[in-house]
């Protein structure tokens, strides 16, 4: 986390994804560090396991592990409840007031955008998280990035709240 903090502060002199040296800097840095740690130690690995067990080790595979499917699905849902609470009354994860777009949002957003690939239904994700996803999706740089290398047809499906990616039968 220290390396990431140093890199953000050193290589973004305007601190577009960091925080200025005001009275809230230490508080914001602490909150920023907590969310980045939550993402890298929780959301990323746990949702990654949910994706694996749900999408790869199912169907007629001899690798079906019902316990793994349920355990990682349920833990991913719990992590999205934590994210939901963290976004209560906020536009972004870190910063004074409603927050400021930061590396914490940048790290968390790609996983959150594709939560359905972990078998998470739309009704298992709260309104704060959904609004936050939409807010970040509207940022011009994010829209540009979502088209690299090319725009995926899957992005259009995300606008349908009932859409789920095709998944093997459990």
HSE of 131, CA atoms in CB hemisphere, 13 A: 13
User: What's residue 137's pLDDT?
Assistant: 95
Tell me the CATH number for domain 27-157. Answer: 1.20.1050.10
How confident is residue 18, by pLDDT bands cut at 50, 70 and 90?
low
Residue 127 and residue 130: Cα distance in Å, rounded? 5
pLDDT tens digit string along 45-65?
Answer: 999 999 888 877 666 667 778
> pLDDT tens for residues 108-156?
999 999 999 888 999 999 999 999 999 999 999 999 998 887 777 778 8
Listed by start position, the domains of the chain span: 27-157
Q: pLDDT value at position 138?
A: 96
Residue 30 has pLDDT above 90, yes or no: no
Number of other residues whose CB lies within 10 A of the CB of residue 50 = 26
Question: What average pLDDT does the segment 9-33 reach?
Answer: 62
List 94's β-bridge partners, or say none.
100
């Amino acid at each position: 986390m220290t390396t990431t903090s140093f890199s953000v502060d050193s290589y973004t002199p305007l601190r577009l994804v960091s925080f200025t040296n005001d009275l809230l800097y230490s508080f914001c840095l602490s909150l920023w560090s907590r969310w980045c740690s939550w993402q890298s130690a929780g959301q990323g690995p746990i949702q990654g396991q949910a994706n694996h067990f749900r999408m790869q080790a199912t169907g007629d595979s001899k690798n079906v592990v019902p316990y793994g499917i349920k355990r990682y699905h349920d833990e991913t849902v719990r992590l999205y409840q934590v994210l939901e609470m963290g976004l209560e009354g906020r536009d972004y994860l870190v910063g004074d007031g409603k927050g400021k777009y930061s590396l914490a949002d940048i790290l968390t957003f790609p996983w959150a955008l594709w939560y359905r690939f972990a078998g998470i239904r739309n009704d298992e994700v709260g309104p704060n998280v959904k609004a936050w996803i939409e807010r970040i999706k509207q940022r011009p740089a994010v829209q540009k990035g979502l088209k690299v290398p090319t725009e995926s047809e899957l992005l259009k499906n995300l606008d349908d709240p009932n859409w789920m990616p095709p998944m093997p039968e459990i």
